[in-house]
């Protein structure tokens, strides 16, 4: 049987626990969540073997965060949930006149040479973001920014969307 996907909020709690042991109150404060919700999430994570109670807090084994996070189809569902939530957030903010995020989409024709140049820029962006990730290990998980990027053939995306119709 396939492993149940993590909810976005469960993954966020695991990421916070990956830094150090924390109580429900500490997590609620650092994640900006209701403490009762955090307690429920912690109970579920402990029951699933994704954390353990120690000295009044919940901990992950040192260096085990990546091993605890789902892969394959479970990860795919989490990414879909995260991306849909990101798009919903962006358009809600835009409709309110807010400026809390950025979303850009371009449909362009691209030569092989330009595609290689683009992929080099994307690799540079990935390297830069990994550097920022290393530097921001101590900040609150909820204060981090999300970045998505990539490219694929437009026609393939349209064909796949028609499969769902």
pLDDT over 90, % of the chain: 27
Tokens at 21, concatenated:
């042991």
CB–CB of 42/24 below 8 Å? Answer: yes
The pLDDT, as a whole number, for residue 3 is: 59
Confidence check: pLDDT of 81 > 90: no
Task: Tell me the pLDDT tens digit for each residue of 38-67.
Answer: 999 998 888 887 888 888 788 876 555 666
Single out the residue of 37, 70, 42, 41 nearest to residue 54, CA to CA.
42
For 36, the enclosing helix (H) or strand (E) is helix 35-47
pTM score: 0.70
Give the Cα separation of 24 and 33 in Å (integer): 10
Mapped onto helix, strand or coil, the DSSP state of residue 59 is strand
Arithmetic mean of pLDDT, 136-161: 85
Confidence check: pLDDT of 110 > 90: yes
Q: Which domains does the chain have, with CATH numbers?
A: 1-101 (1.10.10.10), 104-165 (no CATH)
The pLDDT, as a whole number, for residue 70 is: 64
The pLDDT, as a whole number, for residue 109 is: 94
What is the number of other CB atoms lying within 10 angstroms of the CB of residue 79? 13
Single out the residue of 2, 1, 4, 83 nearest to residue 50, CA to CA.
4
Confidence check: pLDDT of 112 > 90: yes
């Amino acid at each position: 049987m396939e492993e149940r996907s993590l909810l976005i909020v469960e993954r966020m709690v695991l990421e916070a626990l990956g830094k150090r042991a924390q109580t429900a109150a500490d997590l609620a404060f650092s994640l900006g969540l209701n403490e009762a919700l955090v307690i429920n999430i912690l109970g579920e994570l402990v029951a699933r073997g994704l954390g353990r109670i120690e000295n009044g807090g919940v901990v992950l084994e040192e260096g085990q965060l990546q091993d605890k996070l789902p892969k394959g189809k479970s990860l795919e569902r989490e990414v879909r949930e995260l991306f849909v939530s990101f798009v919903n957030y962006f358009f809600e903010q835009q409709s309110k006149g807010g400026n809390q995020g950025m979303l850009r989409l371009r449909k362009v024709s691209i030569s092989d040479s330009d595609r290689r140049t683009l992929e080099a820029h994307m690799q540079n962006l990935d390297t830069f973001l990994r550097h920022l990730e290393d530097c921001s290990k101590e900040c609150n998980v909820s204060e981090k920014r999300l970045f998505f990027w990539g490219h694929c053939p437009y026609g393939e995306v349209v064909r796949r969307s028609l499969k769902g119709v």
